[in-house]
Structure 1
Amino acid sequence: MLPTPRHQMNAPPPWTLTGYGLILVAHFPEAFVRRHGFLQPYQQVAYRGWLGTVMLVNYQTSNVGPYAELLFIPGLFRFGNTTSFSIAKIYVSTEESVVNGRLNWGIPKERADFAFSEPARGYQQISVSRRGQPFLSVQAKTWGPRFPISTAFVPGFRVVQASFFEASEPAVSGLLLTKPTASGSARLASLTNVTIDSTFFPDLSAIKPIIALSVENFSMQFPHPRQIRG
């Protein structure tokens, strides 16, 4: 029997992931999100706004091995009777994460390449590219004391995504609700030299975040999802 190609590795939930990275929380203007936020049709109808986030994480361990991730959550959505967050754009650094993220939770992951520089004098340079085309670069400086963070501070934190078949096309008739949990320690961060190609990711360079955090000892659990009606 031939071995299964590595990129077809099946890794069902639950997942446990650990790593470090950046978390940015901001209010994204509705017009910006609807025009430049990469919303799918089912998300356009359900979008309600409030606060969103950008996460840039280097997972050192996961159920499919180490990988990096960049994601955009523009705010809250209303799917039927459920108010939830939803991921509009996401890149990861391995095909294993792409395939399993789509099949397990309906997360619309795409492949990209990431470069994290070693922190020096409190600064770290991070860049992301796709098929050889750089599309995001940011310099982060951390400062201040460390403090704990947790999804327990956001009661009812959950994400809803349209389900996928064969990790290719979403099936909007099926929505998957997942309640991830996460914790870690954080310091405040200042982001400079932000450059983004809006062809690949929302250009957030002109949006002032409410808070930017550099997160260490980050641990996240992604459980089994459940199906809901939209």
Structure 2
Amino acid sequence: MTAEYPAEPWHLVGQLHASVFLVPLAEVQEALTDAPSRGLPPGVHLVRLGGRCVVATAWVDYQPGGVLHYRELMSTLLVRSRWRLLPTITHIWVDSEQSRDGGKALWGIPKQLADFDFSDDSAEPAPAPARGRDFTAADESGAIAAGTIRPRRRLPVRVPVRFRVVQRLHGRAKVTPVRSRAGLGVAAATFTANPAGPLAFLAGRRPILTLTMHDFDMSFGG
């Protein structure tokens, strides 16, 4: 049964923590063969940096105040469509049937269901940089990944963040705009993928950069 979901654009608010990895091309290509995205969208190509591909994971806490309230883990690849650089989502889990069904139907995002445990920011007094969160995600097959985020620096003002996401929808490349405003920062992070799970290609890898979007206000779709 398909859950009812909001019409686009979706207005969403919350917290996002994205980590960037460089992964050998051969390992990315192997992971794509079994990815829920069914490979890459038509007409796009992997961006390669010295034989490696740019992978980004994100833990997202969509909080009350938006059209949906849920949690999410995703893995994306940086791809090229002609002259444009775009992310494409290859693996993604949510704990909302509305989000799962709406993401697939509206934008071709291959969302699957999972269970999440997101810790709250530290309740004990501590300097701001020391506060952080812990994350885990698991589905019926077992653990997917776990992670930690410890904020380090943050811009003093909120800034606009705009980009586009490309997915496969009805056999074509579907490009979806994302517009947001957030407090941007950098963080120290760990990401532990289950070596026997769907993100095994990230097992044992350390992110080269982690960015945070604090208290984002986002419009997804158009």
> What band does the TM-score fall into relative to the shorter chain?
0.7 to 0.9
Post-superposition CA distance 1:88-127 (Å, at most 9, x none)? 1111111110011111111111111111112225232110
Show the counterpart of 2:179. Answer: 181
Give yes or no for contact 2:190–2:206 (8 Å, CA) kept in 1: no
Count of equivalent residues: 205
183-192 or 36-45, larger mean C-alpha shift = 36-45
Return structure 1 stretches of 4+ with deviation > 6 angstroms.
Answer: none
Preserved contact between residue 42 and residue 168 of structure 2 (Cα < 8 Å): no
- Report the counterpart of residue 151 of structure 1 in structure 2: 161
Identify if the C-alpha distance between structure 1 residues 207 and 82 changes in structure 2 by more than 3 Å, giving closer, same or farther: same
1:222 aligned onto 2:220: yes
For 1:73, the equivalent position in structure 2 comes to 76
In the alignment, structure 1 residue 25 sits paired with structure 2 residue 31: no
Q: Distance in 1 between matches of 2:69 and 2:179?
A: 19
Q: Which runs of 5+ in 2 are unaligned?
A: 49-53, 123-129
1:115 is matched with 117
Equivalent residue number for residue 161 of structure 1:
167
User: Is the alpha carbon distance of 1:128 and 1:159 closer, same or farther for their aligned partners in structure 2, counting shifts above 3 Å?
Assistant: same
SS at match of 1:8: coil
Alpha-carbon displacement from aligned partner over 1:34-85 (angstroms, at most 9, x marks no partner): 112426244497332254421110000432x21011111111143x786532
CA contact (8 A) 1:28 1:74 kept: no
Cα displacement string for residues 164-202 of structure 1 (whole angstroms, at most 9, x for unaligned residues)? xxxxxxx32x33211111221133211237243452224
1:5-54 CA-to-partner distances (Å, cap 9, x unmatched) read 8x621311011100013111333332221112426244497332254421
AA matched with 1:92? V
Change in 2 beyond 3 A, CA 1:213/1:103: same
Identity of aligned residues (%): 22
TM-score by length of 2: 0.79
| Cα distance change on mapping 1:93 and 1:219 into 2, 3 Å | same
3-state SS in 2 of match to 1:199: coil
Q: Which residue of 2 aligns with 1:137?
A: 146
Equivalent residue, structure 1, for 2:51: none
Specify the alignment match of 2:96 in structure 1. 94
Q: SS of the residue aligned with 2:202?
A: coil
> Take 1:36 and 1:133, find their aligned partners in 2: how far apart are those partners?
18
| C-alpha RMSD over aligned residues | 2.7
Return the alpha-carbon distance in structure 2 between the equivalents of residues 8 and 142 of structure 1.
36
